[in-house]
Structure 1
Amino acid sequence: MAAPREEAAPRRPFGKRLLTDPARLFQHNAWDHVEWSEEQEASARSKVEENSSQLLPQDKQEEYEVNARRYWDDFYQIHENGFFKDRHWLFTEFPELAPQGNTRQRKDSVLEFNSKEESSNEGLSSCENGHCSLETKAEDQLNLMKSTPESCREELAPQKCNELKGTDGDYPGSSASYRILEVGCGAGNTVFPILQTNNDPGLFVYCCDFSATAVDLVQNNAEYDSSRCFAFIHDLCNEQSPFPMPDESLDVVILIFVLSAIHPEKMQRVVTRLSRLLKAGGMILLRDYGRYDLAQLRFKKGQCLSDNFYVRGDGTRVYFFTQDELNDLFTTAGLEKMQNLVDRRLQVNRGKQMTMYRVWIQCKYCKPAAPQPQGNRETV
Structure 2
Amino acid sequence: MSSSAGGRVLTEEEAERLLERDKDCISDFKRNKLEMDAKKNWDLFYKRNSTHFFKDRHWITRECPQLQSILHEVDKPVLLEVGCGVGNAVLPLLEEHGQDMFVYACDFSPRAIEYLKSDPLFDESKNCRGFVCDVTKDPLTHNVPPNSVDIALLIFVLSAISPEKVKSVLTNISTVLKIDGGLVFFRDYGLYDHAMLRFSKGHKISENFYMRQDGTRAYYFSESEVSDLFSSAGFDVIENSYVERETVNHKEGVSARRIFVQGKYKVSSKPKQGISH
Q: Say which is worse superposed, 49-58 or 334-343, in terms of deviation.
A: 49-58
State the shift of 1:99 in Å.
6.7
1:359 aligns with 2:259: yes
**Larger-Rg structure:** 1
State the shift of 1:200 in Å.
4.9
User: Contact (CA 8 Å) 1:99, 1:199: kept in 2 or not?
Assistant: no
Question: Could you tell me how far apart the structure 2 residues matched to 1:319 and 1:63 are?
Answer: 17
Tell me the alpha carbon deviations over residues 82-114 of structure 1, each in whole angstroms, 9 at most, x when there is no partner: 1111011111101233374659xxxxxxxxxxx
Question: Could you tell me how far apart the structure 2 residues matched to 1:276 and 1:101 are?
Answer: 21
User: Could you say which residue in structure 2 is the equivalent of 1:75?
Assistant: 45
User: Could you say which residue in structure 2 is the equivalent of 1:297?
Assistant: 197
Higher strand share: 2
Within the candidate set 102, 112, 116, 1:214 is matched to 112
1:277 aligns with 2:137: no
User: Residues 235, 307 of structure 1: CA spacing in aligned structure 2 closer, same or farther, 3 A cutoff?
Assistant: same
Within the candidate set 187, 193, 206, 2:92 is matched to 193
Matches within 5 A, 1:142-181: 177-181=76-80
User: Residues 221, 95 of structure 1: CA spacing in aligned structure 2 closer, same or farther, 3 A cutoff?
Assistant: same
User: Could you say which residue in structure 1 is the equivalent of 2:245?
Assistant: 345
Amino acid at match of 2:154: L
State the shift of 1:239 in Å.
4.1
User: Residues 241, 102 of structure 1: CA spacing in aligned structure 2 closer, same or farther, 3 A cutoff?
Assistant: closer
User: Could you say which residue in structure 1 is the equivalent of 2:156?
Assistant: 257
Q: Say which is worse superposed, 48-57 or 333-342, in terms of deviation.
A: 48-57
Question: Could you tell me how far apart the structure 1 residues matched to 2:123 and 2:89 are?
Answer: 14
User: Residues 269, 347 of structure 1: CA spacing in aligned structure 2 closer, same or farther, 3 A cutoff?
Assistant: same
1:236 aligns with 2:135: yes
Within the candidate set 89, 95, 102, 1:204 is matched to 102
User: Contact (CA 8 Å) 1:284, 1:364: kept in 2 or not?
Assistant: yes
Within the candidate set 54, 57, 66, 1:84 is matched to 54
Tell me the alpha carbon deviations over residues 270-314 of structure 1, each in whole angstroms, 9 at most, x when there is no partner: 111111211121111100000000110010111111000011100
Q: Which has the higher contact order (CA 8 A, sep 6+)?
A: 1
User: Could you say which residue in structure 2 is the equivalent of 1:64?
Assistant: 34
Question: Could you tell me how far apart the structure 1 residues matched to 2:11 and 2:225 are?
Answer: 19
Question: Could you tell me how far apart the structure 2 residues matched to 1:231 and 1:218 are?
Answer: 8
CA RMSD of aligned residues (A): 2.1
User: Could you say which residue in structure 1 is the equivalent of 2:65?
Assistant: 95
Structure 1 unaligned regions, length at least 5: 1-34, 104-175, 372-380
Question: Could you tell me how far apart the structure 2 residues matched to 1:272 and 1:185 are?
Answer: 18
User: Could you say which residue in structure 1 is the equivalent of 2:213?
Assistant: 313
State the shift of 1:323 in Å.
0.9
User: Could you say which residue in structure 1 is the equivalent of 2:123?
Assistant: 225
Q: Say which is worse superposed, 281-290 or 362-371, in terms of deviation.
A: 362-371
Question: Could you tell me how far apart the structure 2 residues matched to 1:339 and 1:224 are?
Answer: 30
User: Could you say which residue in structure 1 is the equivalent of 2:274?
Assistant: none
TM-score (norm 2): 0.88
Q: Secondary structure at 2:142's aligned position in 1?
A: coil
Matches within 5 A, 1:16-95: 36=8, 38=9, 40-95=10-65
User: Could you say which residue in structure 2 is the equivalent of 1:5?
Assistant: none
State the shift of 1:232 in Å.
0.4
How many corresponding residue pairs? 262
Structure 2 unaligned regions, length at least 5: 1-6, 272-277
Question: Could you tell me how far apart the structure 2 residues matched to 1:77 and 1:101 are?
Answer: 34
Q: Secondary structure at 1:198's aligned position in 2?
A: helix
Q: Secondary structure at 2:218's aligned position in 1?
A: strand
Tell me the alpha carbon deviations over residues 150-180 of structure 1, each in whole angstroms, 9 at most, x when there is no partner: xxxxxxxxxxxxxxxxxxxxxxxxxx73111
Question: Could you tell me how far apart the structure 2 residues matched to 1:324 and 1:46 are?
Answer: 24
State the shift of 1:269 in Å.
1.0
Q: Secondary structure at 1:365's aligned position in 2?
A: strand
User: Residues 56, 239 of structure 1: CA spacing in aligned structure 2 closer, same or farther, 3 A cutoff?
Assistant: same
Question: Could you tell me how far apart the structure 1 residues matched to 2:177 and 2:139 are?
Answer: 19
Question: Could you tell me how far apart the structure 2 residues matched to 1:239 and 1:232 are?
Answer: 11
TM-score (norm 1): 0.65
Question: Could you tell me how far apart the structure 2 residues matched to 1:47 and 1:256 are?
Answer: 29
Question: Could you tell me how far apart the structure 1 residues matched to 2:146 and 2:70 are?
Answer: 22
User: Contact (CA 8 Å) 2:235, 2:268: kept in 1 or not?
Assistant: yes
